[in-house]
């Protein structure tokens, strides 16, 4: 199972993403009814990972003291429920204010950028179960996530053990359209 989470994306944004609609949406699952009980970054992530509403998991904001990474209790999440039956991996954003090298329980592979909003030439904390290290991975962050996700799937698809990959793409997120556009970095 591959789960792709996009930050700050509305349903109608998919009009501008025809390849995503064709290659992922058409081949995957589409929901005709969907609800976001707390459509804010960290509370929504906590809900996805715990299956609980915000008043139960306690993450009510993107920043401390009411939210963010330090507020999230990660002892019982989708990753811990699936592991050890599934090989689990997370690529990309975990929570606001998260700082590597902490690797939450349940994740076999953990690949997160050191600077979440640095879209190019980023340093990544990569822990594939043997202890982690920072690796400088050139290129646009979303492309790097795609490469890491492909590598995870290729490594795990032939195995008898099922896998769950949670890929959390940040860009486009903030800044002007120019700073979110990979062609701007390639031409500058």
> What is the percentage of the chain residues whose pLDDT exceeds 70?
88
**Which tokens belong to 9?**
């994306």
**Residue 185 pLDDT grade (very low, low, confident, very high; cuts 50, 70, 90):** very low
Q: Is residue 60 part of a domain?
A: no
Report pLDDT for 188: 47
Q: Is residue 115 part of a domain?
A: yes
Q: Is residue 86 part of a domain?
A: yes
Average pLDDT, the chain: 85
Segments forming the whole domain that contains residue 129:
2-27+74-187
Residues 6+ apart with CB under 8 A from 43: 54, 57, 59, 60, 61, 67
Question: Cα–Cα distance between 27 and 108 in angstroms, integer?
Answer: 27
Q: Count of domains in the chain?
A: 1
Question: Cα–Cα distance between 110 and 62 in angstroms, integer?
Answer: 21
Q: Is residue 51 part of a domain?
A: no
Q: Is residue 103 part of a domain?
A: yes
CA 7 to mean position of chain CA atoms: 9
Q: Is residue 137 part of a domain?
A: yes
Q: Is residue 44 part of a domain?
A: no
pLDDT tens for each residue of 59-77:
999 999 999 999 999 999 9
Q: Is residue 91 part of a domain?
A: yes
pTM: 0.84
């Amino acid at each position: 199972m591959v789960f792709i989470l996009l930050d700050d994306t509305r349903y109608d944004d998919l009009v501008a993403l025809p390849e995503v609609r064709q290659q992922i949406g058409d081949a995957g699952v589409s929901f005709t009814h969907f609800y976001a009980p707390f459509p804010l970054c960290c509370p929504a992530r906590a809900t996805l990972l715990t299956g609980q509403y915000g008043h139960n998991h306690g993450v009510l904001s993107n920043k401390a003291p009411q939210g963010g990474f330090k507020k999230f209790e990660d002892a019982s999440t989708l990753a811990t429920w699936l592991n050890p039956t599934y090989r689990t991996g997370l690529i990309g954003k975990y929570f606001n204010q998260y700082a590597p090298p902490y690797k939450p329980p349940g994740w076999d592979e953990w690949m997160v950028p050191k600077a979440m909003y640095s879209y190019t030439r980023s340093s990544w904390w990569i822990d594939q179960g043997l202890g982690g290290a920072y690796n400088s991975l050139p290129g646009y962050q979303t492309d790097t996530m795609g490469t890491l996700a492909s590598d995870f799937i290729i490594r795990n698809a032939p195995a008898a053990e099922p896998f769950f990959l949670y890929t959390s793409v940040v860009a486009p997120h903030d800044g002007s359209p120019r700073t979110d556009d990979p062609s701007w970095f390639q031409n500058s």
